[in-house]
Amino acid sequence: MTWLITGGAGYIGAHVVRETLKSGRNVVILDDMSTGIATRIPDGVTLEEVTLVDKAGVEAVFAKHEITGVLHLAARKQVGESVEKPLYYWDENINGLTHLVGAMKNSGIKNLVFSSSAAVYGEPDIAPDALITEATHCLPINPYGATKLAGEWIAHALSASDDFHVAALRYFNVAGAGSPQLGDQFILNLVPIVFDALTKGNQPRVFGDDYPTPDGSCIRDYVHVQDLAEAHVAAMDYVERPDTTFAAINIGTGRGASVFEVLDMVREVTGLEVTPERIQRRAGDPAALTADVSRAAQLLDWQSKYDLRDIISSAWTAWQQTH
Ligand X SMILES: NC(=O)c1ccc[n+]([C@@H]2O[C@H](COP(=O)([O-])OP(=O)(O)OC[C@H]3O[C@@H](n4cnc5c(N)ncnc54)[C@H](O)[C@@H]3O)[C@@H](O)[C@H]2O)c1
User: Cα–Cα–Cα angle for 156, 221, 144, nearest 5°?
Assistant: 45
Q: Does 5 bind ligand X (CB under 6 A)?
A: no
Using rule CB under 6 A, residue 33 touches ligand X: yes
By CB under 6 A, what part of segment 281-300 binds ligand X?
none
Q: Judged by CB, which is closer to ligand X: 21, or 216?
A: 21
- Burial classification of residue 241, based on how many CB atoms lie within 10 Å of its CB (0-12 exposed, 13-18 middle, 19 or more buried): exposed
Alpha-carbon torsion (133, 137, 142, 144), positive or negative: positive
Binding window for ligand X (CB under 6 A); candidates: 153-161, 171-179, 235-243, 272-280: 171-179
In angstroms, give the least distance from the CB of 243 to ligand X: 27
Alpha helices in the chain (DSSP H): 11-22, 55-64, 79-84, 86-89, 96-107, 143-161, 190-199, 225-239, 259-270, 294-295, 308-322
Does residue number 306 form part of the binding site for ligand X (CB under 6 A)? Answer: no
Alpha-carbon distance of 91 to 26, in angstroms, equals: 29
Residue from 75, 103, 194, 318 touching ligand X (CB under 6 A): that is: 75
- Told to check if 174 binds ligand X by CB under 6 A, we report yes
38 binds ligand X (CB under 6 A): no
CB 306 within 8 A of CB 228: no
Question: What's the closest the beta carbon of residue 190 comes to ligand X, in angstroms?
Answer: 10
171 is catalytic: no
Residue closest to ligand X (Cβ): 10
Question: Helix, strand or coil for residue 171?
Answer: strand
Look at residues 150, 146, 147 and name the one whose alpha carbon lies nearest to residue 158. Answer: 150
Applying the rule CB under 6 A, the residues between 99 and 158 that interact with ligand X are 115, 117
For the bound state, the minimum distance from the C-beta of residue 90 to ligand X, rounded and expressed in Å, comes to 12
Residue 12 in the binding site for ligand X (CB under 6 A) = yes
Question: C-beta of 305: minimal distance to ligand X in Å?
Answer: 18
DSSP for 1-64 reads -EEEEETTTSHHHHHHHHHHHHTT-EEEEE---SS--GGGSPTT-EEE---TT-HHHHHHHHHH
53 is a contact residue toward ligand X (CB under 6 A): yes
Choice among 144, 211, 238, 306 that is catalytic: 144
Picking from 26, 24, 30, the residue whose alpha carbon sits closest to that of residue 47 is 30
Binder to ligand X among 11, 211, 246, 316 (CB under 6 A)?
A: 11
Measured from the CB atom, is 90 or 216 closer to ligand X?
90
How many residues in the shown chain lie near ligand X by CB under 6 A? 29
Contact call for residue 189 and ligand X (CB under 6 A): yes
Q: Give the catalytic positions in this structure.
A: 144
Residues lying near ligand X in the complex (CB under 6 A) are found at 6-7, 9-13, 31-36, 51-53, 73-77, 92, 96, 115, 117, 171, 173-174, 189
